Amino acid sequence: MHRLLALLAVLAALSTMAGCGDRGGDGSPPPAGATTLVLRLSELPGLLPPGGVAAVPPRYSLFGDGRLISVPDGPSRGWPQLREDTVAPDDVRELYAAAAALPDGPVADVPDGPVVQVTVGTAGGRHSVTLDRADPAAARLLAALARHADGPPVPYEATAVAIVATPADPTEPARPWPLPTLAGAPLGGTSAGSTCLVLRGADLDTARRAATTADAAARWSSAGQVWQVAPRPLLPDETGCPDL
C-alpha cells in the first residue's frame, strides 16, 4: 500500500504540473467532446489485484458529451459489465466543479487502506488527487455520481479491450486461451510483472465468448505458461495500453 500511495502521489504531482493554473475550480466550464474526459473516479483497494492499477476499471468516467460510463455493483463473471448513462449539461457542470475543488490529500498512512483517485480534465491537461476512501469530499462526489447511474441499465459496448495478463502458478488447472497470443507488452508501475494486449473486432468477440463461460478467477494457458487474465475495456479517451 505504501508503494501504491507513493506512485499515485508522483503521478498526481506530474498531472498537477501539466494542468497547473487551470484546475477548473474557478468557474470555468468543463471540457467538451465525446472522447474528452471531464472527470474520472477510481476506487483502489489497498491490496491491488494481479495486474495492479491497469486491471481495475475506473468506477466512474464522465465525458464532455454527458456520457457517464461506470462499473455497476455485483459480480461480472469473467468479463466486466460496464454501463452507460447520460448526465444533463447542468449536472455535468456541477460534478466538474465538485471534482475540481477536491483538496490534495493528505492520505492517511494506513497499510492496505482503500483510496479514491479523482482525475479532472482541463484545458491545460489533467489534474489528479488521491484521497482516503472515507474522506467526506470523496464520499460526496461518489454519491453524486452514483445518483446519475441508477436508471435502467444500458450496457457500454467497448470496441477495444485490453487484456491484462499476469503469470500464475503453472500447476493450477487452466483453460486453453482461444487466440494464438495472450501475453502482450510489459506493464510498469503497480502493474509490473503483467502484460497488456489490446483486442478488437473478431479477436475481441472470441475472447469475450470464452471468458463469459468462466469466472474472474479462471486460469488460462498460452505458450506453455499459465496466466490470470483481467479484461479491461478501453474507454472513449483511451486508445491503448499506455492509457491504463
Task: Determine how many CB atoms are found less than 10 A away from the CB of residue 103.
Answer: 10
Give 24-78 pLDDT, tens digit per residue: 556 789 999 999 999 999 999 988 999 999 999 999 999 999 999 999 987 777 8
55 vs 1: which has the higher pLDDT? 55
What does pLDDT average to over the chain? 88
> Could you tell me if 144 and 164 are in contact, meaning their C-beta atoms sit under 8 angstroms apart?
no
CA-angle at 115, arms to 189 and 123, nearest 5°: 75
Confidence (pTM): 0.86
Name residues whose C-beta falls within 8 Å of residue 72's C-beta, 6 or more positions apart in sequence: 81, 82, 83, 149, 153
Distance CA 169, CA 97 (A): 46
Give 178-226 pLDDT, tens digit per residue: 999 999 999 999 999 999 999 999 999 999 999 998 888 899 999 999 9
> Is the pLDDT confidence value at 7 over 60?
no
**DSSP string for residues in 50-97:** TTGGGGS--SEEEETTSEEEE--SS--TTS---EEEE--HHHHHHHHH
**Looking at the DSSP assignment, which residues form a beta bridge with residue 18?**
none
